Amino acid sequence: MPLFWKPYKSEVSSFIDDLKAKKPTLEAEQRAGRALLWDKQVDRELQSEYQEAKVAQQPYVYQTHVK
């Protein structure tokens, strides 16, 4: 290892660190946006009813009659 060795930091990591330093609320805003679209409460009972109500699909979908 060279005498004046310093750890490598990529340009992308530097950019993200600078962005977070300029806008400290960025991470909280990202979490709020994620919660808005993805973090939903799942009703397990309703989900199980949906699973029970599924109709079995025939092996060849385009076949018009079932033998």
* Tens digits of residue pLDDT in 14-58: 999 999 999 999 999 999 999 998 888 889 999 999 999 998 877
CA distance linking residue 17 with residue 11, whole number of Å: 10
Query: Has residue 67 been placed in a domain?
Result: no
Number of separate domains in the chain: 1
pLDDT at 52: 92
The domain of 26 spans 11-52
pLDDT at 22: 96
Query: Has residue 6 been placed in a domain?
Result: no
Question: Could you tell me how far CA 25 lies from the centroid of its own chain?
Answer: 21
**Helices H, strands E: what count in the chain?**
3, 0
Query: Has residue 33 been placed in a domain?
Result: yes
